[in-house]
Amino acid sequence: MSRELKALSMAAPGHALRHFWALEPSMHFLNHGSYGATPRHVLAAQHQWRERLERQPVRFMSDELPAALCSARARLAAFLSTQPERLGMVENATAGVNAVLRSIAWRAGDELVLADHAYLAVRHTVQHLAECHGLVVRRVQLEFPLSGQEAILEAYWSAITPRTRLVIVDHIFSTLAVQAPVAEIVAVCQPLGVRVLVDGAHAPGLLPLALDELGADWYVGNCHKWLLAPKGCAFLYASGAAAQDLHPAVISNFHDRGFPLEFDWQGTRDYSAWLAVTAALDFVEAFGAARYRQVLREQAAAAAALLCRHWAVELPAPPGMFSAMVTLPLPGDEAPTEENATRWHDKLWTQHRIEVPVLAFNQRLWVRISAQIYNELSDYEALARAVSASRSMQGT
């Protein structure tokens, strides 16, 4: 272990850890959930892979890359409690979802179930396929606030019919920031012969994953968010028969090699993000993977409690449904429009140097905070003061 990682293993969370990242020191970064933030240690590893490629591009691509990819995949598979042959590397969760949905031999009239709060790119992909193949899309209506995970399970159960071919469920809903009862939904679908695709964009690194035990047919996850890998690093898991006839969105030279090797080569590209996932795992494991998850969950809970007190609002779901992100109602009664959400976001950034998403859905405006080990409560106190001051100036 390097001296840097040894220091990380003994460090306490907070602003003292900011030097491990290249983040602007003057800002309050409360939006790790959107694109992540890659530690310098991981970026350095990615740079080394790029330099290694450029020293002899033909030798690297032909002779060194295949083994390096296999090694990276094996390391990631062990972290996810699965086998390397069940993981295909993709650029992001959206690419993984597209690979699955475009590989299924759809029939007109097939039904596909997903939540109204599914990620926008997934909803667009589903709508495109529905128009191309004559599919019926059944939307799971999730009210927010939520009483508990049982409400999500019941909503999915109510949407399934004898014509349901596939259910898509978010492990953590991006807008709501709540965790879905994925294992329970899988258990409901399996006896019915309904396949399940889990959009786990936020889960790797944040939740303890055991993909083989979960039982989903497919699972996509981003490594660039909570696992701290470079942008462009994600995976697609396929179990058993679900790997048959599964192809990447880009068909290339390895088309006859099967899953997952077909995903290894999709033309000339920068493979360094995939290869640097081992450095990201080194970073998380140096801090302590279980400790990392616990710190993020506890910090997010403390931050949410602080904001609820300052703004006189209530947590919109049971505390156990949240992890490192929490979506809270923005105080006041402004119209829940995209324009107002953008105005709030831009004001918080330009006037207070606070980066945090403001969302408009379910008849009101919401703020989604993220917690990372480089944050501390003073970041959320700044947000609490900024929002309260803005409301006071508006006279509301």
Domain with residue 316: its CATH number is 3.90.1150.10
Residue 173 lies in a domain: yes
How far, in Å, CA of 69 to CA of 65, rounded? 6
pLDDT of residue 266: 87
pLDDT of residue 396: 47
Residues 275 and 297 in one domain: no
3-state secondary structure of 260: coil
Q: Which of 256, 283, 310 is the last residue of a domain?
A: 283
- Residue matched to tokens 């508006």: 394
- In contact, 348 and 356? CB cutoff 8 Å: yes
How far, in Å, CA of 128 to CA of 149, rounded? 30
Hey, what are 321's tokens?
């449904």
Q: Could you tell me how many helices (H) and strands (E) the chain has, helices first? A: 16, 12
- In contact, 53 and 61? CB cutoff 8 Å: yes
pTM (2 d.p.)? 0.96
Residue 354 lies in a domain: yes
- In contact, 103 and 246? CB cutoff 8 Å: yes
Residues 256 and 303 in one domain: no
Residue 237's nearest CA partner among 42, 79, 46, 33 is: 79
Residue 374 lies in a domain: yes
Residue 116's nearest CA partner among 94, 135, 142, 93 is: 142
Cβ of 137: how many Cβ atoms within 10 Å?
14
Q: Which of 221, 253, 283 is the last residue of a domain?
A: 283
Which residues, including other chains, have CB under 8 Å from residue 10's CB and lie 6 or more apart? none
Amino acid at the residue 356:
V
Residues 62 and 119 in one domain: yes
How far, in Å, CA of 175 to CA of 309, rounded? 22
Domain hosting residue 87, numbered range:
44-283
Beta strands in 91-145 (DSSP E): 111-115, 136-140
Residue 385 lies in a domain: yes
Residues 223 and 295 in one domain: no
How far, in Å, CA of 256 to CA of 241, rounded? 17
Residues 225 and 294 in one domain: no
3-state secondary structure of 326: strand
Hey, what are 367's tokens?
């703020």
pLDDT of residue 392: 63
Hey, what are 264's tokens?
């290894």
Residues 352 and 312 in one domain: yes
Q: What is the CATH number of the domain that holds 177?
A: 3.40.640.10
How far, in Å, CA of 295 to CA of 284, rounded? 12
Residues 146 and 293 in one domain: no
Specify the number of domains making up the chain.
2
Residue 217 lies in a domain: yes
Residue 35 lies in a domain: no
Residue 90's nearest CA partner among 256, 183, 219, 207 is: 219
How far, in Å, CA of 271 to CA of 72, rounded? 11
pLDDT of residue 384: 98
Residues 206 and 68 in one domain: yes
Residues 97 and 232 in one domain: yes
Residues 239 and 298 in one domain: no
Residue 83's nearest CA partner among 256, 257, 211 is: 211
Sign of CA dihedral 311, 315, 319, 324: negative
Cβ of 142: how many Cβ atoms within 10 Å?
21
Residues 139 and 64 in one domain: yes
Residue 39 lies in a domain: no
Residue 36 lies in a domain: no
Do the strands 354-355 and 28-29 form a parallel or antiparallel pair, or are they unpaired?
Answer: parallel
Give phi and psi for 353, each to the nearest 5: 55, 40
Q: Provide block-wise average pLDDT over 10 residues at a time, the chain (396 residues).
A: 84 95 96 98 98 97 96 98 97 97 97 97 97 97 95 97 98 98 97 97 98 97 98 96 93 88 92 98 97 98 98 97 98 94 98 98 96 98 94 60
Q: Which of 254, 283, 312 is the last residue of a domain?
A: 283
Residues 20 and 93 in one domain: no
Give phi and psi for 222, each to the nearest 5: -85, 140
